[in-house]
C-alpha cells in the first residue's frame, strides 16, 4: 500500500512539472472511480468545454478514496472527485482544508450482483462480498444493505477488497468473490455476463455524498477565479451529461472501453436519475455521513453539514443567470 501511495503521488507530481498546453491554466484533478457519475471532466475534455474556458485539467485515476484524499492533502492536486467520507474523516481528524464545492450524486446507487441462483441477501450468508475498499462508498452501501437484513460483516459474510470497478467485475467473473458491489455502468456489464441483481441500489435511496467536487480552502483563497471557471465548465458538462446521450456514450466508450450500446443505455437510464443537473450538494447527504461516523467518533456530533460546504461558486452561477441561460429557463428536474 505504501509503495502504491508513493507511486500515485509521484504520478500526480509529474503533472505539476509539465508545461501547460497552449498557455491554458492548469488544474490537476484526481478521481476515486472510473464510473459514469465521475465522467463530467471527460465530457468537458472531449467536447472542448475545457478549451472554451482556457483550462487544462489532467485527471488522475486513483482507485481508492484514502489515496485520492492523500493526493489532495499533499498539495499535488487541486480538485478531487470523490464521495464525502474521506473529506469528513479528514476534517474530524483536525485538518479542515478540504471543502465541498458541489454535489454530483447525493444518494448511493451501487447494487449487489451475484449468480442468478442467489435471490436474496440471506442467500449470501457465509459468502464473500466484493467492495472496492473498506471505507469506500461501495463498502458503506453493502454494510447498509445487509444491515437491513440484520446481517453483519465478519459474522454473516466476508468483505473482500477488490480495488477498482474493473477489478470488481474480474473478481466476480473468476469466482474470487460470490457477489460484487457495483456502480453504473459496471453493474450493467455484469448483467450482460449473466449475473443478476440481489439488491438494486437506486430503489433503496440511501442518502450519502456519493460523488462530489472537492477542493482545498488554501488553494481556493489564492485561486478563486480559476476554480470559478472550472465550475462553469463542470456546469456545462453536466448539461451535456443530462441531455445528450449519444455524446455521453461516445465518452464512456472511450474512457471505460465499453462498446456495448445495450449496456451503456441500461446504465445511463438507471444512473442519470440520481445525478444532480445543477450540481447541488444536499446537506442531508452530508449529515448522513456525520451520523454514521458519530457512534465511533463523537467529534462528528459537533459539526454541522454547512460547515463542510462552500457554496460560493454555485451561488455566483445562479445569481448571474448562467444556469437559467444554460438550461433555457427550464428546471432540469
- Per-residue pLDDT of 260-275, as tens digits, reads 899 899 889 989 999 9
The CATH H-level superfamily of 111-206 is Periplasmic binding protein-like II (3.40.190.10)
Q: What residue spans define the domains of the chain?
A: 2-10+23-107+208-326, 111-206
pLDDT at 184: 86
pLDDT at site 133: 85
Q: Read off the C-alpha cell for 320.
A: 448571474
Helices (H), the chain: 2-17, 40-46, 49-52, 65-73, 85-92, 137-147, 165-174, 186-192, 217-243, 245-256, 261-271, 283-293, 312-319, 322-326
> Measuring CA to CA, how many Å separate 26 from each of 21, 198, 224?
9, 43, 13
As a whole number of angstroms, the distance between CA 61 and CA 41 comes to 12
Give 275-322 pLDDT, tens digit per residue: 999 999 999 999 999 999 999 999 999 999 999 999 999 999 999 999
Residue recorded with cell 441531455: 243
pLDDT confidence of 23, banded at 50, 70, 90? confident
pLDDT (tens digit, 9 = 90+) per residue, 171-202?
999 999 999 999 888 999 999 999 999 999 88
pLDDT of 21 reads 56
Q: How far is CA 20 from the centre of its chain?
A: 26
Per the model's pLDDT, the better-predicted residue between 190 and 331 turns out to be 190
Question: Each residue of 30-61: pLDDT tens digit?
Answer: 998 899 999 999 999 999 999 999 999 999 99
CATH code assigned to 2-10+23-107+208-326 = 3.40.190.10
The pTM score is: 0.86
Mean pLDDT of 212-223: 98
DSSP letters for 195-232 = -EEEE-GGGT-EEEEEEEEEEEHHHHHHHHHHHHHHHH
Closest CA to 110 of 191, 192, 186, 31: 186
Q: Is residue 252 over pLDDT 60?
A: yes
Amino acid at each position: 500500500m505504501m509503495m502504491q501511495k508513493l507511486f500515485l503521488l509521484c504520478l500526480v507530481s509529474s503533472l505539476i512539472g509539465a508545461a501547460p498546453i497552449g498557455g491554458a491554466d492548469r488544474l490537476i484533478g484526481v478521481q476515486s472511480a472510473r464510473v459514469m457519475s465521475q465522467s463530467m471532466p471527460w465530457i468537458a475534455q472531449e467536447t472542448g468545454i475545457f478549451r472554451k474556458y482556457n483550462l487544462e485539467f489532467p485527471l488522475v485515476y486513483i482507485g481508492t478514496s484514502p489515496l485520492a484524499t492523500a493526493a489532495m492533502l499533499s498539495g499535488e492536486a487541486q480538485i478531487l472527485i470523490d464521495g464525502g467520507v474521506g473529506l469528513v474523516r479528514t476534517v474530524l481528524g483536525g485538518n479542515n482544508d478540504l471543502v465541498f464545492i458541489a454535489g454530483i450524486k447525493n444518494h448511493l446507487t451501487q447494487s449487489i450482483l451475484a449468480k442468478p441462483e442467489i435471490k436474496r441477501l440471506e442467500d449470501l450468508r457465509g459468502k464473500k462480498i466484493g467492495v472496492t475498499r473498506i471505507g469506500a462508498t461501495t463498502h458503506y452501501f453493502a454494510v447498509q444493505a445487509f444491515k437491513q437484513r440484520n446481517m453483519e460483516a465478519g459474522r454473516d459474510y466476508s468483505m473482500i477488497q477488490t480495488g477498482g470497478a474493473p477489478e470488481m467485475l474480474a473478481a466476480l467473473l473468476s469466482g474470487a468473490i460470490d457477489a460484487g458491489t457495483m456502480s453504473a455502468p459496471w453493474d450493467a456489464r455484469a448483467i450482460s455476463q449473466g449475473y443478476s441483481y440481489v439488491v438494486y441500489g437506486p430503489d433503496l435511496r440511501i442518502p450519502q455524498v456519493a460523488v462530489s467536487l472537492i477542493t482545498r480552502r488554501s488553494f481556493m483563497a489564492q485561486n478563486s477565479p480559476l476554480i470559478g471557471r472550472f465550475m462553469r465548465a463542470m456546469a456545462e458538462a453536466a448539461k451535456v451529461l443530462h441531455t445528450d446521450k449519444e455524446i455521453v456514450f461516445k465518452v464512456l466508450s472511450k474512457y471505460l472501453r465499453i462498446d456495448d450500446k445495450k449496456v451503456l443505455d441500461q446504465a445511463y437510464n438507471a444512473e442519470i436519475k440520481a445525478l444532480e443537473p445543477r450540481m447541488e450538494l444536499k446537506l442531508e447527504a452530508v449529515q448522513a455521513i456525520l451520523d454514521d461516523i458519530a457512534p465511533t467518533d463523537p467529534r462528528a456530533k459537533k459539526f454541522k453539514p454547512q460547515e463542510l460546504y462552500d457554496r460560493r461558486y454555485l451561488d455566483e452561477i445562479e445569481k448571474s443567470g448562467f444556469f437559467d441561460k444554460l438550461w433555457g429557463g427550464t428546471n432540469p428536474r
